Amino acid sequence: MKKFLNTTALVLAGLIGFSGCTKKTDEILIGEFGTLTGGEATFGQSTNKGLRMAFDEINGAGGIKGKKIKLITYDNQGKTDETAAVVTRLITQDKVVAIIGEVASGRTLVAAPIAQQYKVPLITPSSTHPKVTEKGDYIFRICFIDPFQGAVMAKFMTENLKLKKVAILRDVKNEYSVGLADTFVKEITQRGGEVLIDVSYQANDIDFKAQLTQIKSKNPEVIFVPGYYTDAGLITVQARQLGIKAVFLGGDGWDSPKLHEIAKEAANGSYFSNHYSTDSTDPVVQEFIQKFKTQFNELPDAMAALGYDAGKVLAMALTNAKEITPENIKNEIAKTKDFPGVTGVITLDEKRNAIKSAVIVKVEGNDKKFVTKMAP
């Protein structure tokens, strides 16, 4: 038995050692892990596009101190055990100096302890679970956390829209949606609002008529749908088909050019919290949208923008680091202050979360019109 195990181990080591070929020392190796296939692939692919674009830009301008960034991307197929293997591979085999990923907090929560253990900085572009950055001082996040967005939307509803009665339609399969919904409910009740009904669906459902019919009978003024655009589009369409006239509110998951394509007029007049608005005069935003459209022949969504910013924040840390080592990079990322990102001005607090304002936008056709800004 022992012999068997030892031989196998050595054989395996040989095999895999083989595939980890020679490393060029004039490249900066950055690792990315994400869900590129499977049920949530569209979000992982978007993030990847934004990230790649960011690095392509940097490399096109000469790289960091003359060295080009090489992005090593591994698909984890949406699985947690594969995340563990992939992140370990990036660190111990590919010897990356920093890691970026992922959209789903569940998977990032597996990656973070590993990155922390090996002292390699990890930036998540869009995981919103508070526990992610608690794993250690090498873990950073450049997006809002759930509690913030939920509170923002609640405040908007009571103070700006001056409405009180809301129905919740949450995606029970996504912790992002559940987290947003929970904080929204808490905030809205504190502000004197009334949650008339709280129903749920599962991501990728196509028929919401049953839930919407229930909601209709309660006659809410607002319907809060803290899910992804992939479902929100159909929800608004079916709601209008059923004759529901309530205003829709959503979170940054709504942000995608596909929302209007699917929903058409049904989504008009809805509001959601986002990182930027398409009519923003900020040149950073406009340039990003243009470049993205040129490179990928489609408009970016929130994930792409966040991926882009994550790449840019990391690049700045790389530039500022005296020597490119994981520890130096970590220190520089922690210093991120007033970084002009597409998704807002990014400053990282002591908990390594981003302090950013949210922008509330109103859906009008293909545009997301700026309504107001909500500071933390």
Partner 1 sequence: MTSESHDFLQHLINGLSLGSIYALIALGYTMVYGVLQLINFAHADIYMVGAFASYYISKWIGLEANPGFMALGLALLTSMVTCAVLGVLIERLAYRPLRKAPKLNILITAIGVSLLLQFGAQIIFGADPKVFPTLIEDKSLIDTPLLILKSLDVTVFVVTILALLGLHFLVFHTKMGKSMRAVSHSMTNASLLGINVNRVVVFTFILGSSLAGIGSVLVGLKYPKIEPLMGVMIGLKGFVAAVLGGIGNMSGAVLGALIMGLSEEFVVAYLSSTLRDALAFGLLIGILIWKPSGLMGKNTIEKV
Partner 2 sequence: MKNKLKVVLMVLASISISGLVLQFSINAYIQILILQILMYSIAAMGLNLVNGFTGQFSLGHAGFMAIGAYTSAYLSQIFPGFLESTHLLGFFIFSILGGLLAAGFGYVVGLPSLRLKGDYLAIVTLGFGEILRVFLLNIETLGAARGITGIVPYPELGFLDRFWVSFFYIMIWFVVGLYFVWRLTRGRHGRQFLSVREDEVAALSLGLNTTQIKVRSFVIASFYAGVAGSIYAHLISIVSPSVFGFMMSVNIVVMVVLGGMGSFTGSIFAAAFVTLAPELLRSLQAITGYDLRMVVFSLSLILIMIYRPTGLFGSKELPDIVRSWRMKKS
Binding to partner 2 by residue 201, rule CB under 8 A?
Answer: no
From the CB of 229, what's the least distance to partner 1, in Å? Answer: 9
Check: CB of residue 348 under 8 Å from CB of residue 313: no
Minimum CB distance to partner 2 smaller for 1 or for 375: 1
Which of partner 1, partner 2, none interacts with 211 (beta carbon under 5 to 8 A by kind)? partner 1
Report which residue type is found at 241.
Q
Minimum CB distance to partner 1 smaller for 139 or for 266: 266
Distance CA 111, CA 17 (A): 22
From the CB of 130, what's the least distance to partner 2, in Å? Answer: 11
> If DSSP codes are grouped into helix, strand and coil, which group holds residue 165?
strand
Concatenating the DSSP letter of every residue in 23-79 gives: --TTEEEEEEEE--SSTTHHHHHHHHHHHHHHHHHHHHTT-BTTBEEEEEEEE-TT-
From the CB of 268, what's the least distance to partner 2, in Å? Answer: 30
Check: CB of residue 288 under 8 Å from CB of residue 49: no
From the CB of 42, what's the least distance to partner 2, in Å? Answer: 14
Q: Which residues bind partner 1 (CB under 8 A)?
A: 36-39, 41-42, 45-46, 172, 199-202, 204-207, 209-211, 213-214, 217, 230, 233-234, 237, 241-243, 258, 261-262
Minimum CB distance to partner 2 smaller for 39 or for 340: 39
Which of partner 1, partner 2, none interacts with 319 (beta carbon under 5 to 8 A by kind)? none
Minimum CB distance to partner 2 smaller for 92 or for 319: 92
SS3 content of the chain, % helix, strand, coil (to 5): 50, 20, 30
Would the CA dihedral through 213, 215, 218, 219 be positive or negative? negative
Minimum CB distance to partner 1 smaller for 190 or for 219: 219
Binding to partner 2 by residue 36, rule CB under 8 A?
Answer: yes
Interacting span for partner 2 (CB under 8 A) from 23-31, 91-99, 288-296, 330-338: 91-99
170, 183, 150, 330: CA torsion to nearest 10: -110
Interaxial angle between packed helices 326-334 and 302-320, expressed in degrees from 0 to 180 and rounded to the nearest 10: 110
From the CB of 103, what's the least distance to partner 1, in Å? Answer: 13
Binding to partner 2 by residue 281, rule CB under 8 A?
Answer: no
Would the CA dihedral through 33, 36, 37, 41 be positive or negative? positive
From the CB of 42, what's the least distance to partner 1, in Å? Answer: 4
- ∠ CA 363-367-371, rounded to 5°: 55
Check: CB of residue 106 under 8 Å from CB of residue 132: no
Binding to partner 2 by residue 13, rule CB under 8 A?
Answer: yes
Residue numbers at the binding site for partner 2 (CB under 8 A): 1-2, 5-6, 9-10, 12-13, 15-16, 19, 36-38, 74-75, 77-82, 84-85, 88-89, 91-93, 105-106, 109-110, 113, 118, 129, 131, 172-175, 177-179, 202
